[in-house]
Amino acid sequence: MTSLRFIILLLQLWTVCAWEDYKDYKVLELQPRDLAQQQLLLNLDREQPQWDYLGGRRSATDTSRRVLVAPQQLQQLQQQLQLHGIEYKVLLEDLAPHVRAQRAENLSSKAKQRTHRIDVFAAFYNHSEINAYMESLVQLYPKRVQLKTFGWSYEQRALKILTISNGDGRRNKPVIFIDATIHAREWIAPSFALYIIQQLLEQAENADLLLNYDWVIMPVVNADGYEFTHSDSRFWRKTRKPTPIEEHIGTDINRNFGYKWGDDAGSSGDPAEEIYRGEQPFDQPETQVLRDALLHYKDRLAFYLSLHSYGNYLLLPWGHTSSFPDNYFYMMEIADAGAMAIIQSTNGIYSYGSGYHLMYPTSGDSNDFAVALANATVAITMELPAGGFLGFDPWVTHIEGIVTESWVGVRAMALEVISRGYQ
Ligand code: 0X9
Ligand code: ZN
């Protein structure tokens, strides 16, 4: 064995050791009977941080909820469900083989690839692969692509933002700004960001999207968390910066923005929770980078789109209050164009409206910040479709279907923004 192969083997062994295998973690499918029970699950989700994602809906037509439960927490959850009369079944007895199979699918699919061009449909890529790919685009399209490191993550990963133009040399066009991977485990989001990049650079039919607008794309905001989902713990959501409580790591970037930060209805001050807002607004370097990037484009931000999963939603501001921004109906028309285009192409159903009303209150999220403090005319948080057992974990074989459908929606929304002219 050559020494290089030996080193690779050691590295592989090391990643296997670090890997959280989710042995005996169960996936429960809950069937709330009515709206009251759905609300109850949302409340339980808030009160009991150990049960992740009780409130999340898979799609408009599916009223069931799925939840990941650690072996030591199963009994307590079952008791709660029985107490409230909520029906459930055990969908998966042990998540470990599923996580293993998905990891194997992804690694073997990547091993087969021979070109430097990222094949979006063939695998999920980690942070360094995505950065390397963006670097290669600068070489390939020197007149159309700019890549800037806007800052570094807590663990010192370069946070890169790509600007795509049509190369006509016109400066300061209005901007369509897209970010992805604020939440680490939402793997379909960076894949979709990469697909959008390829559509804009490689497909001549999309030239209309670049005539009077530049596209600014940040595929991985939460670089440390995302890397951690590849190397250690597939369902990690937050950043990786320690909190004041030693056993709890990470902050939710989407509660860490400094507009209406700190409201208990839409975020948590408890580092144990998945929606922990941090000790101070913007105390996460990743939030600072996204803030600075949005402020950089402040007076030409025609459309801010934040890619998340899951649930098939186009969420508009506000998240922090039940009232609506001044141009809410303008934003609704943009969302309507996206939802209609998707239903016509695949029958996919998206719900759209204010995040507060459609999903749950959020305070300190990027969407509200973009509108309130970075003057975005339109801001939409797009919750892409669910996949896999938990919604965040589509199989590689499902990437193509999800990203091609989503592109139909994003293209239609961008065209709607463009046809109305930047206002
Ligand atoms: O909770 C979040 O941050 C987002 N959902 S996710 O499942 N991807 O975590 C929703 C953000 C919603 N934004 C507004 N309500 N404005
Ligand atoms: Zn998210």
pLDDT of residue 2: 53
pLDDT of residue 17: 53
| Among the bound ligands, the one closest to the CA of 363 | 1
CA of 135 to the centre of ligand 2 (A): 26
Cβ count within 10 A of residue 260: 20
Supply the residue whose CA is at minimum distance from atom 16 of ligand 1. Answer: 319
The values of phi and psi at residue 314, to 5°, are -115, 105
CA of 147 to the centre of ligand 2 (A): 25
CA of 263 to the centre of ligand 2 (A): 19
pLDDT of residue 46: 79
pLDDT of residue 33: 94
pLDDT of residue 117: 80
- The minimum-distance atom of ligand 1 relative to the CA of 360 is 15
For residues 384 and 367, what is the distance between their CA atoms, to the nearest angstrom? Answer: 16
3-state secondary structure at position 272: coil
pLDDT of residue 137: 97
CA of 311 to the centre of ligand 2 (A): 10
- The minimum-distance atom of ligand 1 relative to the CA of 237 is 9
| Among the bound ligands, the one closest to the CA of 354 | 1
Q: Mean pLDDT in the chain?
A: 93
For residues 23 and 282, what is the distance between their CA atoms, to the nearest angstrom? Answer: 35
In the chain, what is the greatest distance between 2 CA atoms, to the nearest angstrom? 67
For residues 28 and 179, what is the distance between their CA atoms, to the nearest angstrom? Answer: 31
CA of 326 to the centre of ligand 2 (A): 25
Supply the residue whose CA is at minimum distance from atom 15 of ligand 1. Answer: 355
Supply the residue whose CA is at minimum distance from atom 2 of ligand 1. Answer: 254
Q: Is the separation of the CB atoms in 73 and 48 below 8 Å?
A: no
pLDDT of residue 388: 94
Q: Which residues are marked as active site?
A: 383
pLDDT of residue 51: 82
pLDDT of residue 213: 98
Strands (E), 103-247: 145-152, 158-164, 175-180, 214-218
Q: Which residues contact 394 (CB under 8 A, 6 or more apart)?
A: 187, 188, 385, 386, 387, 388, 402
Ligand 1 pocket at CB < 6 A? 183, 186, 254, 308, 315, 317, 319, 355-356, 359, 362, 365, 367, 381, 383
Q: Is the separation of the CB atoms in 22 and 97 below 8 Å?
A: no
- The minimum-distance atom of ligand 1 relative to the CA of 356 is 15
- Which regions in the chain score pLDDT beneath 50? 1
- The minimum-distance atom of ligand 1 relative to the CA of 318 is 16
Residues with CB under 5 A from ligand 2 (ion): 183, 308
> Sign (positive/negative) of CA torsion 195, 381, 345, 350?
positive
Pocket test for ligand 1, best of 52, 229, 254, 284 (most atoms within 8 A of CB): 254
pLDDT of residue 169: 95
pTM, rounded to two decimals: 0.94
| Among the bound ligands, the one closest to the CA of 222 | 2
pLDDT of residue 404: 98
| Among the bound ligands, the one closest to the CA of 254 | 1
- The minimum-distance atom of ligand 1 relative to the CA of 361 is 15
